[in-house]
Amino acid sequence: MSRPLWIVIPFKFSDCKSRLADCLSPSERMGLAMAMLQDVLEAVAGRGRITIISRPGFLAQGWGGGAEVRISDLDLNEALNEMIGEQAKGWAEDMLIVMADLALLQPEDIDAISAIPGDVVLAPGRGGGTNMILMRSPAFRTCYRGISFPKHQKMALDLGLTAGYFYSYRAGCDIDEPSDLVELVLHGRGRSACLAREMKLVDI
């Protein structure tokens, strides 16, 4: 029987999507980032309790999105691991970390990763990142930064945890680089894809 999920979505509010600066203005990048966050929220809706974690200033934008919002001055790993530590006291819910730029994500992807066995289930991104982590053990901690996927694999191994893997085109397609916009325009079905098409970000 599946356990309840706490879905945590980190959102970088300040200088978001900086690697798209060559083709988008700061306001365009913010608009696209917010649209992708909306797409992710729609994909995870109804699958568990949802918390967006971001930096100070996020609430000032009037964003709620139907989810809890947590503001933290800590860096990504410190903030996430603090939340894991708090959850570990009772571990009433398993935790699913979902990156906010997975604009192609669909509800069935959340169901699919939830069905994979393991103390921790990792969904790799292109370029060696980790786009989703499902934690069923309070012992696990995140180590995002750089090529994080092998770091998370090693973390599970060192802790003696069983690791499962969710290989998915949609879950693996984070929108970070100008070349990623092609995937968004061609395959996206959500708000961010509509926005990208309206902005004519890709010549097709």
Binned at pLDDT 50, 70 and 90, residue 64 comes out as low
| pLDDT at residue 96 is higher than 60 | yes
Alpha helices in 56-190, H assignment, sequence order = 76-88, 107-114, 149-158, 169-172, 180-187
Is the distance from CB of 198 to CB of 31 less than 8 angstroms? no
**Mean pLDDT, range 92-116, rounded to an integer:** 97
The CATH number of whichever domain residue 14 belongs to comes to 3.90.550.10
How far is Cα of residue 117 from the mean position of the Cα atoms in its chain?
20
> Is residue 203 in a domain?
no
Q: Determine the structural domain holding residue 77 and report its residue range.
A: 5-198
Domain count, the chain: 1
> Is residue 174 in a domain?
yes
DSSP state of 2: P
Residue 61: what pLDDT? 58
| Structure tokens, 19 | 């690697």
What digits encode the pLDDT tens for the residues 142-191?
999 889 999 999 999 999 999 999 999 999 999 988 889 999 999 999 99
> Is residue 204 in a domain?
no
**Mean pLDDT, range 54-78, rounded to an integer:** 81
pTM: 0.93
Burial 142-163 (b: 16+ CB within 10 A, else e): bbbeeebbeebbebbeeeebeb
Phi, psi of 134 (to 5 degrees): -100, 120
What digits encode the pLDDT tens for the residues 115-141?
999 999 999 998 899 999 999 999 999
> Is residue 175 in a domain?
yes
> Is residue 130 in a domain?
yes
> Is residue 113 in a domain?
yes
